[in-house]
Amino acid sequence: MKKKPRIKDKDIKWPARVGVVYSAVRREDFPTEAQYITEKDAEQDAYAIGEYLGAFGLDVRLYPGDEAFAQRVLQDQPDMLFNLVDSVKGKESLAAAIPGVLELLDIPYTGANMLGMALDTNKFFIKELLQRNGVPVPIFQLFTSPDEYLDPTLRFPVISKLNAIHGSVEITREAVSENEKHLRKRLRKLTRTYQQPVLVEEFVGRREVTAIVLEGNRKKVYLAEKIFKHTDGSYLFLTFEDQWLTEQDAAFYYQRYRDPVLRELAAKAFDVVNMRDYGKFDIRVDEAGRNYFIDTNCNPAMGSKEMDVALGVILDLYGVSFYESLKRLIMNTMRKKIQSAPAAE
């Protein structure tokens, strides 16, 4: 079998019809108001992305990620889809079904495949993968019940997070525990409310950096430090309220950050956790300048600087417009379509 030649941009066919699939959100599908808030604007955000795509002259179709999704897509036959789905029926773990359907229908799409999205909803397993591949993470432990044995290597203060839910849900000032009594109380609350394991990890440092990875002809990493505007208390981090209930500028702002080693680690982590096209990492930096990866997001929120989305804000710091990032994602997706086609004998 002949080796496939390197695909050049001029050989990539620009799509005519593009779909945008988003989370079909119903309040009754979510156990708490907080989790619902992270998804309630999914349709509105999809329309905004559709407006940007329409500026390219594309025929844009929007699809809720519900039980009728496959039928609608088969009827319209888009050339590719932007996958913005974060949950199905209120469960993030079911979002992996969307790329699964698109693989069956042989329709190219942006973002992580079924495996990447399934991994993304298991923070404990992601931590294991990163650690085993030389990407530094804080010491951590998974609790499937609030009364489990506490690993003596886990040192206080610690921060506890829902293992299968992103969006900073339940990341409040109460998320940090300075002693076992407080931690056990929080574990009881989270496991009872959400019926899922809780990841506990050491709280590291007072600085936080976000890495955006964007694929194109080559993988590029853009780093930005979060500059916190509130410095009250011993622990600097963004709460759910900071991210969802206040204007971003009221809590923090981003500034460009330079660390060649961290750039390499983020590019490596992107492959380790099976991301594709674009991804986001949150990293804590301790007093000695050591980096610790605390969160990973395949298919992070997509949007422009004007939409107050981290991806758009950080890329803008580096002179990359949202239109340019969309163009790269389109080209990358259509390139993969060519690469996946059978090679000529």
Q: Is residue 253 part of a domain?
A: yes
Clarify whether residues 85 and 13 are in a common domain: yes
Clarify whether residues 88 and 185 are in a common domain: no
Handedness of CA 300, 302, 304, 309 (dihedral sign): negative
Clarify whether residues 157 and 258 are in a common domain: no
pLDDT value for 1: 41
pLDDT value for 273: 97
Q: Is residue 128 part of a domain?
A: no
3-state secondary structure 40-67: CCHHHHHHHHHHHHHCCCCEEEEEECCC
Residue 230, pLDDT > 80, answer no
Q: Is residue 115 part of a domain?
A: no
- The predicted model gives 126-135 an average pLDDT of 97
Q: Confidence class of residue 248 from pLDDT cuts 50, 70 and 90?
A: low
Domain boundary among 149, 177, 202: 202
- Copy the structure tokens of residue 164: 């299968």
Domain boundary among 169, 202, 235: 202
Residue 107, pLDDT > 70, answer yes
Residue 7, pLDDT > 70, answer no
Clarify whether residues 146 and 65 are in a common domain: no
Q: Are 276 and 113 in contact (CB under 8 A)?
A: yes
Long-range contacts of 46-51 (CB under 8 A, 24+ apart): 46/20, 46/21, 46/22, 46/84, 48/303, 48/304, 48/307, 49/20, 49/82, 49/84, 49/302, 49/303, 50/20
From 9-23, 133-147, 294-308, the region with the lowest mean pLDDT = 9-23
Q: Is residue 33 part of a domain?
A: yes
Residue 344, pLDDT > 50, answer no
pLDDT value for 2: 47
pLDDT value for 5: 56
Clarify whether residues 149 and 73 are in a common domain: no
Write down the pTM of the prediction.
0.93
Dist CA 125 CA 269 (whole Å): 13
Q: Are 109 and 102 in contact (CB under 8 A)?
A: yes
pLDDT value for 217: 78
Dist CA 221 CA 213 (whole Å): 5
Q: How many domains does the chain have?
A: 3
Which CATH number belongs to the domain containing residue 25 in this structure?
Answer: 3.40.50.20
* Percent of the chain residues topping a pLDDT of 70: 93
Clarify whether residues 186 and 212 are in a common domain: no
Q: Are 20 and 65 in contact (CB under 8 A)?
A: no
pLDDT value for 177: 97
Q: Confidence class of residue 259 from pLDDT cuts 50, 70 and 90?
A: very high
Could you tell me the residue range of the domain that residue 213 belongs to? 207-329
- Copy the structure tokens of residue 72: 């609608």
283: helix, strand or coil: strand
Which CATH number belongs to the domain containing residue 243 in this structure?
Answer: 3.30.470.20
Residue 197, pLDDT > 50, answer yes
| CA distances, 157 to each of 179, 199, 290 (Å) | 7, 14, 18
Q: Are 84 and 52 in contact (CB under 8 A)?
A: no
Clarify whether residues 231 and 306 are in a common domain: yes
Which CATH number belongs to the domain containing residue 191 in this structure?
Answer: 3.30.1490.20
Residue 72, pLDDT > 90, answer yes
Q: Is residue 121 part of a domain?
A: no
Q: Is residue 51 part of a domain?
A: yes
Clarify whether residues 24 and 73 are in a common domain: yes
Question: How is the chain split among helix, strand and coil, in percent rounded to 5?
Answer: 40, 20, 40
pLDDT value for 336: 83
Q: Are 312 and 304 in contact (CB under 8 A)?
A: yes
pLDDT value for 176: 96
Q: Is residue 133 part of a domain?
A: no
- Copy the structure tokens of residue 129: 């993968």
Clarify whether residues 89 and 196 are in a common domain: no
Clarify whether residues 258 and 288 are in a common domain: yes
The candidate with the shortest Cα–Cα distance to 201, out of 102, 307, 295, is 295
Residue 343, pLDDT > 80, answer no
Clarify whether residues 231 and 279 are in a common domain: yes
Clarify whether residues 275 and 232 are in a common domain: yes
Tens of pLDDT, residue by residue over 54-65, are 999 999 999 999
Dist CA 85 CA 73 (whole Å): 15
- The predicted model gives 53-79 an average pLDDT of 96
pLDDT value for 337: 74
Q: Which residues, including other chains, have CB under 8 Å from residue 202's CB and lie 6 or more apart?
A: 138, 139, 140, 154, 155, 157, 158, 159
Tens of pLDDT, residue by residue over 8-17, are 666 678 999 9
Q: Is residue 118 part of a domain?
A: no
From 97-106, 169-178, 199-208, 228-237, the region with the lowest mean pLDDT = 228-237
- Copy the structure tokens of residue 27: 């309040």
Parallel/antiparallel/unpaired status of strands 220-228 and 140-143: unpaired
Domain boundary among 147, 178, 202: 202
